[in-house]
C-alpha cells in the first residue's frame, strides 16, 4: 500500500508502515527526525500522487480547545484558526480512498464534524493520558491493544504524564510543543497493524 503520512517529522507512523512492507512517506515543513522517506515541503504538492491511504497530523496550535480562548483577545489568532480549518478541510477532501486525520479535542468537532473516535495512549500500552480525536474515511475504528490502568488520586485516574491535579507534567521549554505533538509508538503501531491489512 502507498501511504502518505502528512505533517509528520518524527517518522513514527511512517516507520510503523515501512516495517510492515508498505511504501510509506512522511511529509512536513520540518526535516524528519530520523532517516527515511520524507518530503520536506508542503503536503498539498503530494495529494494527487495516487496514495492508497493518508494519515494526517495537521498542526493543532490554532485548533485545539486549550488555545482557542486566545482568539477573542487576539483577532489575528482567530484568522489563523480559520486558515487551519481550511487546511483540515483540504486534507479531509483529498482524492485519497482511505484517510485518518488526528488532532486533540478542539474546534474541528464543532466547525467541520464530530470525530469518529477519541483514543488515549493508555489504551495502546503507554502510561499516559492525551485525548486524541480521529476523523476517518473508509477506515475502521482503532481497537485498543493494551490497557494501562492509571493510578487513583482522590477517586480519579491519573497517568504518568500527569500531575495529581491532571495537568501535563512537561515543564515549559522551547521544544515542549514538539514533544507533546509526537504520536505515541503504540498508536502508530496499531494504525499500521490494523489499517495496513485493508
Domain positions in the chain are 2-121+132-149+181-195
Question: Is the pLDDT score of 65 beyond 90?
Answer: no
Query: pLDDT tens, 72-125?
Result: 788 788 888 889 999 999 999 999 999 999 999 989 999 999 999 999 999 999
Give one word for 19, left, alpha or beta, with left for phi > 0 and alpha for psi -120 to 50. alpha
Question: Is the pLDDT score of 145 beyond 90?
Answer: yes
Helix (H, G, I), strand (E, B) or coil at 183: coil
- CATH class, 2-121+132-149+181-195 region: alpha beta
The pLDDT value recorded for residue 179 is: 74
Phi, psi of 116 (to 5 degrees): -75, -25
Using a pLDDT cut of 90, give the percent of the chain over it. Answer: 78
Identify the residue whose cell numbers are 500527569.
162
The pLDDT value recorded for residue 184 is: 96
CA neighbor of 117 nearest in space, from 127, 128, 103: 103
Q: Over range 10-26, report the average pLDDT.
A: 98
**Using alpha carbons only, how large is the chain's radius of gyration in Å?**
17
Amino acid at each position: 500500500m502507498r501511504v502518505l503520512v502528512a505533517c509528520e517529522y518524527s517518522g513514527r507512523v511512517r516507520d510503523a508502515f515501512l516495517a510492515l512492507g508498505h511504501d510509506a512517506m512522511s511529509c512536513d515543513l520540518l526535516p524528519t527526525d530520523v532517516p527515511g522517506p520524507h518530503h520536506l515541503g508542503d503536503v498539498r504538492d503530494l495529494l494527487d500522487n495516487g496514495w492508497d491511504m493518508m494519515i494526517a497530523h495537521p498542526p493543532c496550535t490554532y485548533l485545539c480547545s486549550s488555545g482557542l480562548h486566545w482568539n477573542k483577545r487576539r483577532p489575528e489568532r482567530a484568522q489563523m484558526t480559520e486558515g487551519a480549518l481550511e487546511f483540515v478541510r483540504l486534507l479531509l477532501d483529498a482524492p485519497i480512498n482511505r484517510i485518518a486525520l488526528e488532532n486533540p479535542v478542539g474546534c474541528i468537532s464543532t466547525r467541520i464534524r464530530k470525530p469518529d473516535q477519541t483514543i488515549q495512549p493508555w489504551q495502546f500500552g503507554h502510561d499516559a493520558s492525551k485525548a486524541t480525536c480521529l476523523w476517518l474515511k473508509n477506515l475502521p475504528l482503532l481497537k485498543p491493544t493494551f490497557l494501562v490502568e492509571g493510578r487513583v488520586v482522590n477517586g480519579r485516574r491519573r497517568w504518568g504524564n500527569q500531575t495529581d491535579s491532571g495537568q501535563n507534567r512537561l515543564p515549559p521549554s522551547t521544544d515542549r510543543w514538539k514533544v507533546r505533538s509526537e504520536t505515541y509508538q503504540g498508536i502508530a503501531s496499531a494504525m499500521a497493524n490494523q489499517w495496513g491489512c485493508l
